Amino acid sequence: MKDVFRRLASDFLSTIVFLVIYLATDNVVLATSVAILGAVGQVVWSRVKGQTLGYMTWASLALVIVLGGATLLTNDPRFVLAKPAIGHVAIGAIMLKRGWMLRYLPPIVTQTIPEYAIFAGYAWAALMFALAAGTVAIASTGNMTLWAFYVSVVLIGAKLAAFAIQYAAFRILIGNRLRAAARA
């Protein structure tokens, strides 16, 4: 679990750096420049340490450079603010693959309620697309306070709530199926 949080922090470092510097200085050029340099520095440091970098790392770096460059050229933070939406669309598209979730679930789920697990996979994809649309809507306002709240509370809270709902629903459905099988 510790490794998961470390990877998440690493993936969102440029966004966190951008937000902190922008809120502290109200300078979009400075915040974007430091975020781009930080993202490039992360990749260089990882390569120096001999780590292999996955597709998502390179895609994230490209997004930071392209969207950061657009922000620097226009002096408009909305380009950088839209970056999390692109990630959510990409993840949502991956989640559209039928049965993607089955490999992450315990055997009791895959053996007892596979059709619900497949449905849940599509529900997660829909959630990712909805969160991406919300990110674009919030980013288009240019309101940094609202965006900061959205990416730090709403994006995380929605995923935690969805996980809790899925967990409870799966427990109830499995319990019902096992009781029905025992009666039969």
Residue 1 has pLDDT above 60, yes or no: no
Q: What is the pLDDT of residue 19?
A: 81
Q: What is the pLDDT of residue 98?
A: 92
How many other C-beta atoms can be found within 10 angstroms of the C-beta atom of residue 109?
Answer: 20
Residue 81 has pLDDT above 80, yes or no: yes
Q: Which of 42, 47, 71 is nearest to 139 (CA)?
A: 71
Give the single-character DSSP code of 153: I
Q: What is the pLDDT of residue 11?
A: 66
Mean confidence (pLDDT) of the chain: 88
Rounded Cα–Cα distance for residues 30 and 80 (Å): 13
Summarised one tens digit per residue, pLDDT across range 101-141 is: 888 889 999 999 989 999 999 999 999 999 999 999 999 99
Summarised one tens digit per residue, pLDDT across range 133-168 is: 999 999 999 888 898 889 889 998 999 999 999 999
**Which distant-in-sequence residues (6+ apart) come within 8 Å of 94 by Cβ?**
100
Residue keyed to tokens 């609202």? 146
pLDDT grade for 179, boundaries at 50, 70 and 90: very high
Q: Could you tell me the two tokens for 4?
A: 């998961």
Domain boundaries, the chain: 1-75, 82-184
